[in-house]
Chains A and B, each alone.
Chain A
Amino acid sequence: MKIVIVGCGKVGTSIASELNLAGHNIVVIDINRAAVTRLSDSIDGMGIEGNGATYETLSEAGAGDADLVIAVTARDEVNLYTCLMARTCGCPNTIARVRNPEYTNDLFRVKDILGLSMFINPELTAAVEISRLLRFSGALEIDSFSKGMFELIKVGVPKNSPLVDRAISRIDILRGKVRICTVERDNEVYIPNGEFVIRAGDRISIASKPEIAAKFFKKAELNIARSRDVMILGGGKISYYLAQRLLKAGVNVKIIEKNAQRCEELSEMLHDAVIIHGDCMDQDLLLSEGVEHTDGVAALMDYDEENILISMYIKNISKAKAITKVNNAHFDSIIDQIDLECVINPKKIAGEYIARYVRAVQNSLGSNVETLYRLHEDRVEALEFRAKSGSRVLNKPLAELSLKDDLQIICIARKGRIILPVGSDMILPDDSVVIITKHKGLSDLNDILR
């Protein structure tokens, strides 16, 4: 597909690289020459310097015959206006970044005029993601598939767990109910087969139905429990959205924010939350607010360094699940070494979110990926395919298919039922199949074959 991206900031960069990786034709626009050059040189795309909200620049970028225009400049108004202009150029679909909740409420009124197929609010998406993580305090990451019927949960393996030092095929409690999809050890990711031996300290991803997951965690002695109290450090936009969601789910929320005026605003908007005016970097304050005894802490302050530092501190003094917001994506592998539990990068999530949408649009044009998740710093992909009749993988026992290396079929969803398949199971037409793989850019179920 031909996609025009207006705005080469962090979100624009993240979206452009994500979509470029998926093989789309990308044109990026920014008014800042340096930003355009940097981005267009680093991806296989074209860059245009100019005001992306003008008809002239948009038509120069070929918005007229583009399939999608994505407006992600810093300002909501500019983004919406850009979409309007793109529509005038003749582009059928637009996506705008709209952050101001006051605008989002009105968007449905102008949706058709702007050709707006979706809007993205990176802060809101991040908050949704964080709230999902905070539901279980021991999980590192949770992704859901097949409309929530089945989840991929990443957890660390403690020393005393019965999983440790045994080959996967010999672990009885796994049988038929849960499956270990990936193992991360010493900065290396493995897609394990039956002979693989789990060690203490590994981070494993487990595929399971939500209701079975909790039981399994208990049996495997993995520290997973529902959260009751959550502390949010920093009172920005993400914090607001997050608090709103957690409160709705019956979790007690405490927000600590430096700025008194912002505290006032938050307390007006969030009746049930406890708002504390104070510096999050003040250790005494944290202790007096009982940080040791909360189930989860989300460090959502402005500076990455503060967030990382606080999370390390939390990990030191309590068992709470700590979530660290990081804006700068450049030092991913280092941040991973620091042994933080969960790192959230709102811009990256926004990129993945849009890439997922684009895949869905493409879906109707030929590719049949339904959902895509990137795991372990993009090194592993979990994809959900719809099996169409005529595919070469249909009606054959899985044991007979010669699958690619580093690839596993995780689950098959058939008529609302979830099957964690064994060698004798078959893929039937219209099944939804989730696979996990280290190969990138698979776009069809047939691609899983060697």
Chain B
Amino acid sequence: MNKRLILYILGWVLICEGAAMQICTVTSIIFRENEGLYFLITGAVCALLGVLAVKVKKPKNMVLYQKAGFCATALSWILLSFVGALPFFLSGEIPNYVDALFETVSGFTTTGATILVEVENLSHGMLMWRSLMNWLGGMGVIVFLLALIPKLGGQQNIYLMRAESPGPIVGKAVPKMRHYALLLYGIYFGLTLLECILLLCGGMGFFDAVNTSFATAGTGGFGIHNSNIAAYEGYYFQTVIAVFMLLFGTNFSFYILLIGKKFGQAFKMEELWWYFGTVVVFTTIIGFNIMSLYPNTYDAFHQSFFYVSSIITTTGFGIGDVNHWPMLSKSLIIVITFTGAMAGSTGGGFKFSRILLLVKEVKKEFYLLVHPRNIRSVKMDGKKISHETMRSTSVFLVIYLAVFIISFALVSIEGKGFVTSFTSVAATLNNTGPGLGDVGPVGNYAMFTPLTKCVLMFDMLAGRLELFPLLLLFIPAAWKKS
């Protein structure tokens, strides 16, 4: 494997992270907090090491193969987390390094699970760092670097993209990787800005608006108040946030098609209809189911819509406890925890396109039982889906279940009760954040032992990178030269 090239990519990742930390330094300076120092130092050391890795050991051979691309991406994310945890730890605002790491992994993977009981105790710089991690992790740091640095990963940089971007089929909408990455980040930035402006128009404070927009955009779910989004009272704020969560959970190809004025093709996306269809149906069912719990119908549906939107996009914002909801509603919430958002979005989960493909495959299997000699291919959006894609989707399901079951077993060693154990794994593997029970929207992950936290951190990274890149690191053959 081309270790020098991996080191080179990691170097750029460090530089990028060091630069991002300076935004938090500035935030700290504005709010006259001393914690900015920790960002300044960590960021500077990062950037220095990064520059060393990039300049001193410049790889001779810039050819990137799939294996190295996947490993580079997975290692980048691990490195990001370890380094990103330092400001929390050094400043003593999160005294335990495992806790700090958990918070960072949760931030970058856009999970939004927190170990903080009192979020408001953090300084502004730290709050900014949490939200910024959500934002960078949403579209991906590697994609950001691909937009920024020409020739990162050479001609084969598609392998880097494929490792980081979610969905069963990752392709480019424009020929040049750099243009594509710029396009994605352009849309991402534009939508974030739009949300921020809308929140400001409603009268939200600037710091709150920026942080909330960052956390929504990455479908992360880190709030800066103890009561999360419930702190922003009134339908306007919560509805704006709920709508934007849905928008960020939409496949970005959809926006690219809209920009290219290919409306017919855009609205023909099967996944889009299934995604929004599910939102409508689930909101309605849960709305009726919880109607008796709230003073009026509108309020019930508002709660239902916000929560469905928050969970299906795997953002994990909360506007109140849901543990007292009826069983039907809670189980529906668990169902959409697993489905997740659309492929090619900033959301996590199993992804609608994969479910669609599997449903079609099942249908085909039954059809074959009726007509054994029938030849038919699986199609999506009118295009034939290749056998390899079908195969890797099925394998994805198997690994996904295996990771889930093993993690569940490991977490249950603590004996926290079925609902808490089950949903904590589901909420981290799908990058949602809050589950039910002790880890519900008003709870947190502080009470778990370090072992459980490590398992859940692994789940978050595995979920964000969609299993394969992270698991590849554990395959000995990946590290062999021949």
Chain A contact residues, CB within 8 Å of chain B: 2, 17, 20, 25-27, 33, 40-47
Contacts and interface: CB of A to CB of B under 8 A. Distances in A.
Interface string B436-461: 00000000000000000000000000
B61 to A, nearest CB: 14
Among A25, A40, A46, find the residue whose CB has the most chain B CB atoms closer than 10 A.
A46
Nearest 6 CB-CB pairs, A to B?
Answer: A25-B175, A46-B175, A45-B175, A44-B155, A43-B155, A46-B172
Nearest to A50: B383
Contact of A27 (B155, B157, B175, B386): B175
A41 B158 contact: yes
A197 to B, nearest CB: 27
Contacts of A41: 156, 158-159
Interface in B147-184: 155-159, 171-177, 179
A62 to B, nearest CB: 8
A46 B171 contact: yes
Contact of A33 (B158, B159, B174, B386): B386
Contacts of A26: 175
B154 to A, nearest CB: 8
Interface of B: 155-159, 171-177, 179, 386
22 contacts: A2-B175, A25-B174, A25-B175, A25-B176, A25-B179, A27-B175, A33-B386, A40-B158, A41-B156, A41-B159, A42-B155, A42-B156, A44-B155, A44-B156, A44-B157, A44-B158, A44-B175, A45-B175, A45-B176, A46-B174, A46-B175, A47-B171
B380 to A, nearest CB: 14
Given A41-B158, A44-B156, A45-B176, 17 more contacts: A17-B155, A20-B155, A25-B174, A25-B175, A25-B179, A26-B175, A27-B175, A33-B386, A40-B158, A41-B159, A42-B156, A43-B155, A44-B158, A44-B175, A45-B175, A46-B172, A46-B173
A342 to B, nearest CB: 28
Contacts, number: 32
Nearest to B176: A25
A332 to B, nearest CB: 15
A259 B159 CA distance: 47
A41 B65 CA distance: 10
Contacts of A20: 155
Contacts of B176: 25, 44-45
B62 to A, nearest CB: 12
Contacts of B157: 44
A44 B177 contact: yes
Contacts of B171: 46-47
A322 B172 CA distance: 46
A40 B173 CA distance: 12
A15 to B, nearest CB: 14
- Grouping DSSP codes into helix (H, G, I), strand (E, B) and loop, the A interface class, with mixed when no group exceeds half, is mixed
A262 B326 CA distance: 85
A61 to B, nearest CB: 9
Contacts of B173: 46
Nearest to B157: A44
Contacts of A25: 174-176, 179
A26 B176 CA distance: 8
B265 to A, nearest CB: 9
Contacts of A43: 155
Nearest to A66: B175
A418 B3 CA distance: 49
Contacts of B175: 2, 25-27, 44-46
Contacts of A44: 155-158, 175-177
Contacts of A45: 175-176
Nearest to B174: A46
Nearest to B153: A44
B383 to A, nearest CB: 8
A27 B175 CA distance: 6
B65 to A, nearest CB: 10
A46 B173 CA distance: 7
Contacts of B158: 40-41, 44
A272 B386 CA distance: 55
Contacts of A40: 158
Contacts of A46: 171-175
A409 to B, nearest CB: 27
Nearest to A48: B171
A25 B159 CA distance: 18
A44 B159 CA distance: 11
A25 B179 CA distance: 10
From B155, B156, B159, B175, residue with most partner A Cβ within 10 Å: B175
A26 B158 CA distance: 14
Contacts of B177: 44
B346 to A, nearest CB: 22
A42 B154 CA distance: 9
Nearest to A23: B176
Nearest to A2: B175
Nearest to A3: B175
A20 B151 CA distance: 12
A41 B179 CA distance: 16
A195 to B, nearest CB: 26
A40 B176 CA distance: 11
Contacts of B386: 33
A26 B173 CA distance: 12
A42 B66 CA distance: 10
Contacts of A27: 175
A41 B158 CA distance: 6
> Which interface residue of B158, B174, B177 has the most chain A CB atoms within 10 A?
B158
A44 B177 CA distance: 6
A42 B153 CA distance: 11
Contacts of B172: 46
Nearest to A41: B158
B169 to A, nearest CB: 11
Contacts of A42: 155-156
Contacts of A17: 155
A17 B156 CA distance: 12
A160 to B, nearest CB: 38
B14 to A, nearest CB: 24
A67 B159 CA distance: 28
A66 to B, nearest CB: 10
A42 B156 CA distance: 5
A96 B173 CA distance: 26
Nearest to B387: A33
B64 to A, nearest CB: 10
Contacts of A47: 171
A434 B148 CA distance: 34
A27 B171 CA distance: 12
Contacts of B179: 25
A4 to B, nearest CB: 9
B166 to A, nearest CB: 19
A46 B174 CA distance: 7
A43 B159 CA distance: 11
Contacts of B174: 25, 46
A49 to B, nearest CB: 8
